[in-house]
Structure 1
Amino acid sequence: MAVKEAVSVRDNEPVIDDSPLIEPIGFTPVQVSSNRARLFLSKRALVVAACLLLSLLALTYLVIARSLIFETVPNNAKVNIDGFALPLGDGHLVLPGNYSYTISADGYLSKSGEVEVGSDGHSRHAVTLDKLPGHLQVETDPPVPVKIIINGGEVPNTNGLVENIRPGSLRVTILSDRYLPYTQVIKVEGLDNTHRLQAKLRPAWANIRISSNPPGATVTSNGKTLGTTPLNTELVQGDRVVSISLPEHKTVDVPIAVTAGVDQALPTVNLGPADGLLRVVSIPEGASVTVDGEFRGHTPLELELSSGEAHRLRFFKEGYASVVHTIDLSAGMERDLSVNLNAVYGRVFVTSVPTDAEVYIDGQYAGKSGQSFNLPTKSHKIEVRKNGYQAFDTRVIPSDKLEQTVRAVLLTKEQARWQQVPASYQHGANGTMKLMRPNAVFTMGSSRREQGRRANEVMRQVALNRPFYIGATEVTNREFRRFKRMHTSRHVNGVSLDNDNLPVVNVSWADAALFCNWLSEREGLNPVYLTERGKIVGFDSAADGYRLPTEAEWAWLARYDKGTMRKYPWGNELPIGANSGNYADSHAAKLVPAVLRTYSDRYAATAPVGSYSPNPLGIYDLGGNVSEWIHDLYTIGTGLSSRLEENPIGPQDGDYHVIRGSSWRHSGLTELRLSYRDYGEAPRNDIGFRVARWIN
């Protein structure tokens, strides 16, 4: 509605009404929208919704997230984790998964790595950081250049600063010229900090006073000139040598033991006149030189000779006449001397067997044997050669006063080879072995007409030429007990067979063969007898080890006498010769049924080996004492074959082995003969053995 304004009305004036007219206004109905839609789109609604969403997300994160805690040394280290990690107390809250981390602290080396956080529990990790190296600053009083030794090793330094030292306790030694070493144990903290070490150094020298007569001499030490006498100088402690020299005088070296801080005044050094210098040469060179009887060397040579006196020089060389000179040199004088030596000759006559051999002197052909050679009187090598013979050589020094003779006996190569083979030696059980080199054709066995002959003594033609070693005596109890320590040869009716030097008995053939194998192995030789499970199953005839003698060897050894074959151990005739051997004599009457009533050997049973005279080949007891096991298996020939058997060794297979020789139990004509054969395998108290070896 319009409002009508009030207007004042004056009297008698007409009233004018200026109020606007009230007019109707057009009406349009308002379009009312939904309140629910207007509320959803409002800012307040959006904020609330966002807060609710964030709260939900946060709640979900808190439910799913796991704590990741690092326990660090040092405990104030900073922990950086790549990815979203919510700090929480001593650790971080993270979702399950893999995370990279870096841990750092001042003064420590940073450490990085990766950890895995699972969904089934919290994750806790311990990490220790390594300290950064420390530094050492050495400050000395007085300030001098130094060497720094840490824990025994020198380390580089710059003005006393040693950088990058591992933390810990260190032994530091400071060295400087002319000062005593300074040592201290320090502890370096590290953490990039610098440890300062102040060292007060003590002088390592002493004042030394040196004087000489005459004065004015130059004093040097280690090539450095210190001054002239009289002189006060500083020397570093230790064993020092100073040289004091003056023209035309001898230089004197003075040793000084210098102690730091202890001053010394040396006694006055007297300088004598200088030596003279003599340079000597000779024709030819290499002459020996003596001065006043003292050997000084070989020419060419420089000799220092004391001045002011005469010296006797002698020059000599093998094959030349000696020369003597007398020399007197003044102080500091130098002189040259040349000496000519005259050759001296002697005659040597060379002869040879066989004649017409070639003679070589000092490696050069000189002519044929059977003539004299004029040679310088020095040592010469003389060699005599001839085709098919071993060369002969010797050394000789000719004499100018008489002719010498060299007689060369040339050996064939075979003879020379045998010269290298010893004639005897001691085997490993201490028995003596003798060398035999047979070259014989002889008849083994005996004629059917020979009195006392047995049927097994079939005659065989044998050639024996294979060299061998044979035991000079039978093996003793002492020797056998080195193989079998507990062996006993026992006794006969109270008479002992077991003393050390008696021949071993009560051994089987196999025992004897195994002893041979043991002896071979002891000396590094190839065993002859082949064994399986400790039993003999054959033999190796090419082996170089010990064995029992073959029957042919035993027969030749026992019977050979200057080209003929003996019938008995003492010869070819009865009665028994005195000291012929150990048989069943009157001393054995209580032990055996039959004895030799007219013979005495001084023993009832066995006798010590070597008690009687040896046979012509130097072998003992091949008749008497004990019978002996033989290498060969026992066989009996037919007597119909005239085939010559060369070095027979018997078959590989058989039941019994040959036994040869009589024993202390025998007195009958059959057994005393050297052709007597027996056989067996088992031990007996009158059977022993000796050892043999082939030479290959």
Structure 2
Amino acid sequence: MTAKEAVPVRESDRADDDFLLIEPTGFTPVQVEAGGRKLLFSPRALSIAGCLLLGLLALVYLLVARSLIFETQPTDADVSVSGLALPLGDGHLVLPGHYSYTVSAEGYLPKSGEVEVDSDGHSRHIVKLEKLPGHLRVITDPPVAVRILVDSDEVPSEHGLAKNIPAGRKRITILSERYLPFTREVDIEGLDNTQTLQAKLRPAWASIHISTNPPGATVTVEGEVLGTTPLSAELIQGDRLVELSMPDHKTEKIPVEVTAGVDQTLAPVDLGPADGILHLTSVPEDASVTVDGEFRGRTPLRLELASGHSHQLRFFKDGYSSVDRTIDIAAGVERDLSVDLSAVFGRVRITSSPENAQVFIDGELAGIAGQTFTLPARSHSIVVRKAGYEDYQTSIVPSGKLEQTVRAILLTAEQAHWSKVPAEITHGAGGRMRLMRPDARFTMGSSRREQGRRANEVLRQVSLTRPFYLATTEVTNGEYRRYQRMHSSSHVQGVSLDNDNLPVVNISWSDAALFCNWLSERDGLNPVYLTERGRIIGFDTAADGYRLPTEAEWAWAARYDRGAMRKFPWGDELPVQKNSGNFADTSAAQLVPAVLRTYSDRYAATSPVGSYSPNSLGIHDLGGNVSEWVHDLYTIGTGLSLRREENPVGPQDGDYHVIRGSSWRHAGLTELRLSFRDYGADPRNDVGFRVARWVNGETTP
């Protein structure tokens, strides 16, 4: 055995030795033959390389790809994804990118969409498929043609089959022409399945027995002829109109309330003789016609008249004599009747003031005022016109029996304007106001020689031309408490000043002015008095709201008497005349230091407003009862000025306001005069006020 050969080792030798000795063997290198490179491109090598490449690509795909999972309802739906998408369990394995998908299942509408898969994570989508509509077959007992309503909307049906009903719980209503509606709640399965609904229908009619006197009348219901009386007919439930007709008899229409399943026997219907037909014409046409006093229309006219007795006909038309006829017509007969109406004329005399105005009749120039015109006895439009005056318009119906007269009083444009302005109004608190249209130039104040004169009664030349409304009475407690509910005018030594019909007192000038502003706002007018934080800071003479009368307005309204200026409320001389007003008389002796011993007005303090006769302008209590706040601030002039003041309203600034007129406390000659002036700022128990307002936008009478 050579050194290179292996020596077998026995098992017994292993026991004796700790390890085996391995001997090297001889090595002979493989000799590579020329042309070995060709083996790299052999089919086998290429196949192996291709597998390696595919494996590498598959590895890259697995590393880059993301899962795209669809959760579907129903769960067994088929999912189709566009592009390279490998099914993997419940989803697909796809590279990041944009994909289209389609989800479909039997019995459902397919659903398609698009998804975007990014490289950041997996994509999961929920897709719920809509069930296909279902179908419903309706089987009725008895078998009749039906209409099918689904949730109150009628759906197409053929032989009781309604197709394409959306899945879900539906309210199904079955309608048939002669049966009551049948309604059920049905769960429509959908999925293109057909369900069956059994419907037992109940009759919707009742048997109605109809009879007439005489018998043999034709029975018609809603245009359908059912037969002749006596007759039993099945009528559909509801309100029915039964028409009964018979030759030469009146047609009767009987309302019948039919209840399904409830049979009825109607009371016999008496058919009276038929009306006669009368065709009426007249010359001229459009004549009014009455039959037995009842208006029936205008010619030409077709009349139905009860047969068997006479009728009184009257034809009439404006401008024509009426014509009467008596007619008796047989049942079912048609007749013609024509009448000729005779024209009737009347005489109308038309005059005007001023004279020589033009007269237009029915829009045509007819002549000059002062003439008598012959006109047809019908309504005519009359217009009387003259340059510089407003037209006078009226209408008249001439009479053939007597001559009539139209007297036209023509007004200038200004007169016509003022004729439309109310002579009296009522303000929002309930007081009445009269229209004042002064065109006055007068002297305010009093002469130094006048007995009782005070130094503040300086003569002033005043021109008063602005129209205004003035309250006929002073503001009462009741009226003022609409503004200040808790106001009390109090009392004098137990004599009340606080009754609703007594003049309000114990108020300041500012209280009175703020009442005027409240009244203006209540009536939708512009307030006169300007305020700031509840204080009066000025006034606006352009405003149309309520205010206190100016001193000039008060003086003119108190003193004016048919062109003259009176001295006292009752006239120009003492003593005080009976019923002249509420002054300090004997009944006030316990309340005031001086009284009129020979005069009695029946009231110790204030009296109800309007208790005494008004002056010539219709104004009460401008002298007596209570003195009155007026608009003007108090000033004293230095003497009679040659300059005439136009509609004065007083200054904007000052400390005191003017008080005018005597009161229940006054008995002296000085105070009883209408020229008496006082002033103040604080409330008094004998000072009240009345309201005024300018006529909207007017500055001249």
Short-chain TM bin: 0.7 to 0.9
Task: Tell me the distance in 2 between the aligned counterparts of 1:285 and 1:245.
Answer: 34
Output the CA distance in 1 between the equivalents of 2:575 and 2:265.
105
Asked if the contact 2:460/2:640 (under 8 Å) is kept, the reply is no
Amino acid at match of 1:389: Y
C-alpha separation in 1, matches of 2:592 and 2:212: 106
What is residue 69 of structure 2 aligned with on the other side? 69
- Alignment match, 1:647: 647
Q: Does 1:466 align with 2:466?
A: yes
Displacement of 1:121: 4.5
Pairwise CA distance, 1:457: 1.6
Q: What is the CA distance between 1:339 and its match in structure 2?
A: 1.1
Distance 1:257 1:539, change over 3 A: closer
How far the C-alpha of 1:583 sits from its partner, in A, is 3.5
The correspondence of residues 608-627 of structure 1 with structure 2, limited to 5 A, is 608-627=608-627
SS of residue in 2 equivalent to 1:425: strand
Partner residue in 2 for 1:568 = 568
Tell me the secondary structure at the aligned position of residue 557 of structure 1. helix
Give the drift of 1:342. 2.1
Q: What's the offset of the Cα at 1:469?
A: 1.0
> Measured at CA, do residues 436 and 138 of structure 1 come closer, stay the same or move farther in structure 2, by a change above 3 Å?
same
Q: Equivalent residue for 1:524? A: 524
State how far apart, in whole Å, the 2-side matches of 1:236 and 1:477 are: 73
Q: CA deviation at 1:406?
A: 3.4
3-state SS, counterpart of residue 157 of structure 2: coil
Q: Deviations over 1:68-99 (max 9, x none)?
A: 33322211122223344444433344455554
Counterpart CA distance in 2 for 1:431 and 1:190 is 81
Pair 1:229–1:578, CA change in 2 (3 A): closer
Aligned residue number for residue 20 of structure 1: none
1:410 shift after superposition: 3.2
What per-residue deviation string (whole Å, max 9, x for no partner) do you get for residues 139-186 of structure 1? 445554432222112222344333322211222222233344333322
Residue 4 (structure 1) aligns with: none
Q: Which residue of 2 aligns with 1:17?
A: none
Amino acid at match of 2:78: K
Deviates more, 1:337-346 or 1:371-380: 371-380
Q: Cα gap change, 1:496/1:234 in structure 2, threshold over 3 Å: closer, same or farther?
A: closer
Shift of 1:633: 2.5
Q: Whole-Å Cα distance in 2 between the matches of residues 598 and 292 of structure 1?
A: 75
Does the Cα contact within 8 Å between 2:658 and 2:677 map onto a contact in 1?
Answer: yes
The offset of 1:594, in angstroms, is: 4.7
Counterparts in 2 of 1:45-124, with a 5 A limit? 65-124=65-124
Identify if the C-alpha distance between structure 1 residues 207 and 672 changes in structure 2 by more than 3 Å, giving closer, same or farther: closer
Q: Which amino acid aligns with 1:556?
A: W
Q: Which amino acid aligns with 1:425?
A: I
CA distance in 2, matches of 1:569, 1:412: 35
Residue 83 to residue 262, structure 1, CA distance change in 2 (3 Å):
same
SS at match of 2:327: strand
Residues in 2 aligned to 1:612 and 1:228: alpha-carbon distance in whole angstroms:
87
- Corresponding residue for residue 509 of structure 1: 509
Tell me: CA distance 1:670–1:322, structure 2 relative to 1, closer, same or farther (3 Å): closer
Residue 525 of structure 1 and its aligned partner are, at CA, apart by 1.6
Task: Classify 1:592/1:228 alpha carbon distance in 2 versus 1 (closer, same or farther; 3 Å).
Answer: closer
Partner of 2:15: none
Identity %, equivalent residues: 72
- Judged with a 3 Å threshold, the aligned counterparts in structure 2 of structure 1 residues 620 and 234 are, in CA distance, closer, same or farther, namely closer
Query: 2:307 touches 2:331 (CA, 8 Å); kept in 1?
Result: yes
Q: Does 1:195 align with 2:195?
A: yes
For 1:156, give the aligned amino acid.
P
* Superposition pairs of residues 322-337 of structure 1, within 5 angstroms: 322-337=322-337
**Which amino acid counterpart does residue 282 of structure 2 have in structure 1?**
S
2:132 corresponding residue in structure 1: 132
Classify 1:399/1:76 alpha carbon distance in 2 versus 1 (closer, same or farther; 3 Å). same
Paired residue type of 1:170: K
Tell me the distance in 2 between the aligned counterparts of 1:620 and 1:87: 111
| Cα separation, partners in 2 of 1:441 and 1:116, compared to 1, 3 Å | same
How far residue 452 of structure 1 moved from its aligned partner, in angstroms, is 2.6
Q: Which residue of 1 aligns with 2:680?
A: 680
Report matched runs for 1:289-300 at 5 Å: 289-300=289-300
C-alpha distance after superposition, 1:496-553 (max 9, x if no partner) = 4433333223333222222222211211122222333433333222222111111111
User: Compared with structure 1, are the counterparts of its residues 501 and 234 closer, same or farther at alpha carbon in structure 2 (3 Å cutoff)?
Assistant: closer
Tell me the distance in 2 between the aligned counterparts of 1:255 and 1:92.
Answer: 76
Quickly say closer, same or farther: Cα 1:62–1:664, change in 2 above 3 A. Answer: same
Q: Return the letter of the residue paired with 1:73.
A: Q
- Establish whether residue 426 from structure 1 lines up as the match of residue 426 from structure 2: yes
Question: Which AA in structure 1 matches 2:192?
Answer: D
1:169 paired to 2:179: no
Q: State how far apart, in whole Å, the 1-side matches of 2:669 and 2:331 are.
A: 103
Deviation of 1:336 after TM superposition, in Å, equals 1.5
Note the alpha carbon deviations across 1:394-449, whole angstroms, 9 max, x for none.
44444444333333333333333222222222211111211222222221111122
Alignment of 1:1-400 (within 5 A): 32-33=32-33, 65-141=65-141, 143-205=143-205, 218-227=218-227, 235-258=235-258, 273-400=273-400
The residue identity in structure 2 corresponding to 1:670 is T
Q: Displacement, 1:226?
A: 4.2
* 1:411 counterpart SS class: coil
Alpha carbons 2:459, 2:640 under 8 Å: kept: no
Q: Which stretch of structure 1 is more off in the superposition, 448-457 or 56-65?
A: 56-65
- Whole-angstrom CA distance in 2 between matches of 1:55 and 1:313: 119
- Whether contact under 8 Å (2:447, 2:453) holds in the other structure is yes
Q: Which moved more, 1:146-155 or 1:530-539?
A: 530-539
Q: Are the structure 2 counterparts of residues 670 and 306 from structure 1 closer, same or farther at C-alpha, using a change threshold of 3 Å? A: closer
Give distance in 2, aligned partners of 1:265 and 1:676: 97
In the alignment, the residues of structure 1 paired with residue 592 and residue 270 of structure 2 have an alpha-carbon distance, to the nearest angstrom, of 102
Tell me the SS of whatever aligns to 1:149: strand
Question: Conserved in 1, the CA contact under 8 Å of 2:458 and 2:640?
Answer: no
Distance in 1 between the 2:689 and 2:590 partners?
25
Q: Is 1:633 aligned to residue 633 of structure 2?
A: yes
Separation (CA, whole Å) in 1 of partners of 2:49 and 2:64: 23
Alignment partners' CA distance in 1, 2:392 and 2:400: 25
SS in 2 for 1:347: strand
Q: Could you tell me which residue of structure 1 aligns to residue 7 of structure 2? A: none
Q: Which has the larger radius of gyration?
A: 1
Q: Secondary structure of the residue that 1:546 maps to in structure 2?
A: coil
Deviation of 1:674 after TM superposition, in Å, equals: 1.9
Residue of structure 2 in register with 1:26 after alignment: none
- Aligned counterparts of 2:476 and 2:596: Cα–Cα separation in 1: 26
1:10 equivalent in structure 2? none
| Distance in 2, Cα, partners of 1:230 & 1:571 | 98
Look up the equivalent residue of 2:415 and give its one-letter code. Answer: Q
**1:592 CA drift (Å):** 4.7
Residue 113 of structure 2 aligns to which amino acid in structure 1?
A: G
Counterpart code for 1:278:
L
TM-score by length of 1: 0.84
**What secondary structure, in the 3-state scheme, does the structure 1 residue paired with 2:453 have?**
coil
Count of residues paired in the alignment: 667
* Alpha-carbon spacing, 1:225–1:579, altered in 2? closer, same or farther (3 Å): closer
Deviation at 1:281, TM superposition (A): 0.9
Change in CA separation of 1:313 and 1:570 when aligned onto 2, cut-off 3 Å? closer
Cα offset, 1:613, TM superposition: 3.3
What is the aligned partner in structure 2 of residue 535 from structure 1? 535
Q: Which consecutive residues of structure 2, in runs of 5 or more, have no partner in the other structure?
A: 1-29
3-state SS of paired residue (2:452): coil
Question: In 2 relative to 1, CA 431–115 (structure 1 residues): closer, same or farther, beyond 3 Å?
Answer: same
516-525 or 139-148, which moves further after superposition?
Answer: 139-148
Question: Aligned in 2, Cα 1:60/1:488: closer, same or farther, shift over 3 Å?
Answer: same
* Corresponding residue number in structure 2 for 1:606: 606
Shift of 1:689: 1.7
